[in-house]
Structures are given as structure tokens and as C-alpha cells.
A = this chain, B = another copy of it.
Amino acid sequence: MECTIEFRVRYAETDQMKFAHHAAYIVWFEMARIELLRKIDLSYAQMERDGLLLPVLEVNARFYKPAFFDELLQIRARFNEIVKARLRIDYQVYRDEQRICEGYSVHAFMNCGGRPVRPPQFFLEKFRK
């Protein structure tokens, strides 16, 4: 269960080192995560409207090669596992065949009151398919 998105590095995402700033990757992971959910027919926008949120508990990124302005990059996002009501998603950023970054994010399931909840059944069903 994975999903690949393609996008261009924005000018605003570069820094004076001429690299895409490392915090931009964290935002790209998020974009890929949203598309990964969409791929299993889950709209994260709708999920939040329905009162289920997936706040980030941890994020990690290892940078192998810099990315530059206007480059077309690909991110492959993949559901890893749900353990103890925590969802882990893995990411790999590519420039064509070259892997330039890897990372992951860990998420809780939270209701709109800010309380942790168990992963709901509809989520688990989509996830396990």
C-alpha cells in the first residue's frame, strides 16, 4: 500500500545554500501522506470534518543529496504499521532514480476535542485491504 506523488521544488522553498530547505521536506511528506490516504479512499479533509485527526507524534528525515529549485521530485509514501494506536508512514524522496531523502512520521488518532482515540474501524478496514 503505497503512493507516489510528483512535484516541483518551489523557489520559496530554497535557502541561501541554494538547497531546498530541510523543513520543506517535512511539508512534502505531509502532501504525500494526504495522497496516500486518498489512494485508500480516505479524504483527510473529510476525516477532520468528521472529527478524526491524525496529529504528528514524531517526524524524522535523513538527507542524502540536496534538492534544487525547479527540480521535479517524487515522493513514495507507504503505510508501515499501526501499533498501539499509532500509525507510522515511511517516505522516500527521489530525483528520478536517485534517492535523496528518507523519513517517517508517526501519528496518533485524536478526536476533535483533542483526546486520543483508538483507530476507528473504517480506517482499519481501508488500511488492511
Contact = CB atoms under 8 A, between A and B. Distances in A.
Interface of A: 8, 10-12, 14-19, 21-24, 26-27, 30-31, 34, 43-45, 48, 53, 55-63, 66, 68-70, 114
Oligomeric state, in copies: 4
17 contacts: A8-B34, A10-B27, A10-B30, A11-B15, A11-B31, A11-B34, A14-B16, A16-B69, A17-B53, A23-B23, A23-B26, A23-B27, A23-B30, A55-B66, A58-B62, A58-B63, A59-B60
Contacts of A114: 66
A34 B10 CA distance: 9
Contact of A17 (B17, B55, B57, B59): B55
